[in-house]
């Protein structure tokens, strides 16, 4: 095994350990408590930052509650009509003035009955729009990594 391959394997192993540590730490919280009022995913990421971790994976259901079946990312430029047509939900609760601003993104949480909740997140805090994404099960892990600027972004 050459030195480059050993370095690559070591780096992948180190990233995996950091992700696992972040998941274990997040799992220690009480999943029945809703962190939505405490900042939702931003509050959870702040807890990860306090531990000096630079990568983690978060399940929206663990942060917002088990009543949510799916989560989706609403990105800048999307209108309420775009969201309603693409996801088949009533997006009027967003009360957008035209479209999602360039400095914002939303985490849309969908219950089994189709009702929704939205968490507004500044993109310089957590950028969920780094790539085209589709709805994910709310219990699926959403990988995030800290950027050089100190914010967080979705890893795709």
* 36-42: average pLDDT: 73
What tens digit of pLDDT does each residue of 40-60 get?
899 899 999 999 999 999 999
Closest CA to 64 of 139, 126, 128, 146: 139
Q: What is the pLDDT of residues 88-147, one digit of tens each?
A: 998 988 889 999 999 999 999 999 998 999 999 999 999 999 988 889 999 999 999 999
Residue 13 has pLDDT above 80, yes or no: no
Helix, strand and coil percent figures for the chain, each rounded to 5: 35, 25, 40
User: What's the DSSP call for residue 33?
Assistant: S
Residue 31 clears pLDDT 50, i.e. is over it:
no
**What is the model's pTM?**
0.73
Report whether 126 contacts 41 (CB < 8 A): yes
Query: With 60 as the cut, is the pLDDT of residue 78 above it?
Result: yes
Evaluate if residue 36 carries a pLDDT over 60: no
Question: What's the pLDDT score for residue 56?
Answer: 94
Domain positions in the chain? 3-154
Which segments of 59-151 are extended strands (E)? 68-74, 104-111, 116-122, 126-127, 136-137, 142-146
Cβ-proximal residues to 117 (8 Å cutoff; 6+ apart), any chain = 36, 64, 68, 108, 109
- How much is the pLDDT for 35? 35
Cα gap 89→66, rounded to integer Å: 19
pLDDT at 15: 77
Residue 1 clears pLDDT 80, i.e. is over it: no
The mean pLDDT value for 4-23 works out to 68
């Amino acid at each position: 095994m050459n030195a480059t391959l050993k370095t690559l394997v070591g780096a992948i192993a180190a990233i995996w350990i950091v992700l696992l540590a972040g998941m274990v730490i997040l799992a220690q919280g009480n999943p029945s408590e809703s962190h939505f009022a405490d900042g939702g995913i931003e509050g959870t990421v702040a807890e990860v930052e306090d531990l000096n971790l630079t990568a983690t994976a978060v399940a929206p259901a663990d942060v917002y509650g088990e009543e949510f079946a799916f989560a989706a990312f609403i990105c800048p430029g999307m209108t309420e009509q775009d969201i309603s047509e693409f996801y088949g939900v009533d997006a009027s609760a967003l009360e957008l003035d035209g479209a999602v601003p360039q400095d914002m993104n939303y985490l849309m949480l969908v219950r089994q009955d189709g009702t929704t909740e939205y968490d507004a997140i500044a993109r310089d805090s957590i950028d969920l729009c780094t790539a085209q994404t589709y709805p994910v099960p709310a219990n699926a892990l959403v990988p995030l990594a800290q950027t050089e600027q100190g914010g967080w972004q979705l890893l795709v």
